Structure 1
Amino acid sequence: MEGFRFTIPYKVRVVDVNYGGHVANSAVLNFFQDARIAYLANLGPYGEIDIGEGCGIILPEAQVKYLAEMFLGEELEIGVRVDELRNSSFVMRYRIERQGRATAEGTTALVAFDYQKRRPRRLPAGFRGALQKFEGASL
C-alpha cells in the first residue's frame, strides 16, 4: 500500500455490517482502532493505555471519508502511519483498500494521557523515538 509502511489484513465480519448490507460507518472507526493497536504493538511494547512512563493515549478527534461500500466477507488491507508529531500529541492517518482501491480514509488525533492523574502530558521520549525511527524522515 503506497505511502504506508505498516498494514494489516482485515476480513469484514457480520458484526461490521449494518441494515443496508454494507459496512457500518461506526465499524470503520473500529477498523482504525484495530490497525492502531497493531501499529503500536509493532513499534515495541506499546498499547493504547501504555506508551511508556505510565502514559497512555486518548482520542479527542476522528475524521472518516467513505469512498466505496464494503461488504461481508471481503478481504481488506488497512494502512496506518503517523503524519504529525507534536509535544503531547500525534496524528495517525489510515487508508482501507480492497484489491488496491481505497474504500475509506481518515485520521485520528491522539493525545498523551496520564490515566492516574487524569490529564494530558508530554509524549514519553522512548515512544517518540520509536515513532521517529519507524516513520523515518517523514516525521
Structure 2
Amino acid sequence: MARVKLDLPDHLDFSTDLDIRISDINYGNHLGNDRMVTLIHEARLRYLKHHGLTELDIDGLGLMVTDIVVTFSAESFLGDVLTFSVGLSDFNKYGCDVVYRVENRAEGRKVAEAKTGVVFFDYSARRLARIPELFKQRCAPELLEADSASAAE
C-alpha cells in the first residue's frame, strides 16, 4: 500500500513547543500515535489563541474537524520537546486545512507532518457556515485581498 504524502507550504506562520510526557508514551516506549493527535489539537488551540480566537467562538461560529492525516518520520521519546509549526492551506468557502510540521527541537529532525481539515459550523443552527471575515482578517489576510480583487473585476 502506498504511503500518504502531505504537501505542506514551505512557510508556516506560527510555532509552539510541547513536551513529551510519560502519559504520551505507549507500550513501544515512544510517543503513541493517539497522543500525537492530542498534541496536534493542542497546537491548533494555541495557534487560534495566538490570533485571539477559540475553537468554539470565531465570530459566533465554531470549528469542526472533518478529517485528519498524520505521517510519521521518526520516533519521539519521553522528555523530548517537539516544535509544532502551524499554518493554513487549501481554503474553500466553508473551511480549510490546518497543517503542521513537527520537529524534535534539540535534534532539528522532522518527527511528523499532519493536516486537519476544518469547517466552520454554526452549533446553534446545526449547519455549516462560510469562513467568517474575522478569521480571514486575523489568520488569512491574503483571502481578503483575493476577495477584494474578485469583487473589483
TM-score (norm 1): 0.89
CA displacement at 1:84 relative to structure 2: 2.1
Contact 1:58–1:112, Cα closer than 8 Å, also in 2:
yes
Query: Between Structure 1 and Structure 2, how many residues are aligned?
Result: 134
- Give the SS at the match of 2:140: helix
Question: Equivalent residue for 1:93?
Answer: 99
What aligned pairs does 1:28-107 form with structure 2 within 5 A after superposition?
Answer: 28-44=36-52, 46-52=53-59, 54-98=60-104, 99-107=107-115
**Distance of 2:81 and 2:144 partners within structure 1:** 29
Which residue of 10, 14, 26 maps to 2:34? 26
What aligned pairs does 1:120-135 form with structure 2 within 5 A after superposition?
Answer: 120-133=128-141
Higher mean alpha-carbon deviation, 16-25 vs 126-135, is at: 126-135
Matched residue type, 1:40: L
Over the residues paired in the alignment, what is the CA RMSD in angstroms?
Answer: 1.9
Contact 1:7–1:79, Cα closer than 8 Å, also in 2:
yes
CA displacement at 1:130 relative to structure 2: 1.4
TM-score (norm 2): 0.82
Q: Which runs of 5+ in 2 are unaligned?
A: 1-9, 146-153
CA distance 1:135–1:88, shift in 2 (3 Å): closer
- Give the SS at the match of 1:62: strand
**Distance of 2:63 and 2:34 partners within structure 1:** 20
**Distance of 2:128 and 2:49 partners within structure 1:** 22
Identity %: 32
Higher mean alpha-carbon deviation, 81-90 vs 102-111, is at: 81-90
CA displacement at 1:136 relative to structure 2: 10
**Distance of 1:6 and 1:14 partners within structure 2:** 26
**Distance of 2:109 and 2:136 partners within structure 1:** 31
Higher mean alpha-carbon deviation, 125-134 vs 77-86, is at: 125-134
Look at both structures and tell me which one has the larger radius of gyration over its CA atoms.
2
**Distance of 2:49 and 2:135 partners within structure 1:** 11
CA displacement at 1:4 relative to structure 2: 2.0
Contact 2:73–2:111, Cα closer than 8 Å, also in 1:
yes
Higher mean alpha-carbon deviation, 93-102 vs 125-134, is at: 125-134
